[in-house]
Structure 1
Amino acid sequence: MFYVQRGADGKVSGVSAEPPASGEPPLPANHPDVLEFLLRHGDQETTAAALAATDTNLARVVEDLVSLLADRGVILFTDLPDQAQRKLLLRGRLRSRLGDGNPLVDGEDAIL
């Protein structure tokens, strides 16, 4: 979680691990505002951390894309390599298990 400071234009002007005087709530590392700031002002290590923070979201996009293409008959799920099928099925089961009434998972699978 990061605390951000915003300029008059509303854009992030600073990121900190400590709460700012403004009292703005913390944002997760994968929040677009945090990522944009880190990409503009971060060093290579910070940029690598920002990239890693997007991995979970991208994995979900790929899962949804595969599901959509399979549902529409563009691809057959069974045409995917066995390892890919197993990973997608496992993630689907895990998401389903966590999502059923779990207050720690929001609608986009982010753990709160």
Structure 2
Amino acid sequence: MPFVRRNAEDEVEAVFTAPEDGATEELPAGSEELVAFFGVGVLDIIKNDEWLQADLSLARVTEDLIEVLIEKGAIAFTDLPEGAQSKLIDRQGLRSELSYIEKLFGSDEDNYL
């Protein structure tokens, strides 16, 4: 987590990767104060990075392809390296959580604002 130094008004005036003189307070990486200090949110960076968007889309395609190959019996889940198995299990869990939240609150496409 980043370490911050504050000014007299208790605002973040500097950010460091390690404790420095006067900068011993840690803030979570996505905290509102850090976003305000840097002037840009992580989500803004992700949305505007074409390469990152392409990689995220390709990751989803790859995940779906693996799922289809397993369903059709072309490969077994256990054929995959342990690291890949673990990542796929984690993503399936996240996808299930997101699906549950969308069922409760709707998706962005539903325009419930």
Q: TM-score range by the shorter chain?
A: 0.3 to 0.5
The structure in which a higher percent of residues are helix is 2
The alignment's TM-score, normalised by the length of structure 2, stands at 0.47
Q: TM-score, normalised by structure 1?
A: 0.48
Largest Rg, 1 or 2: 2
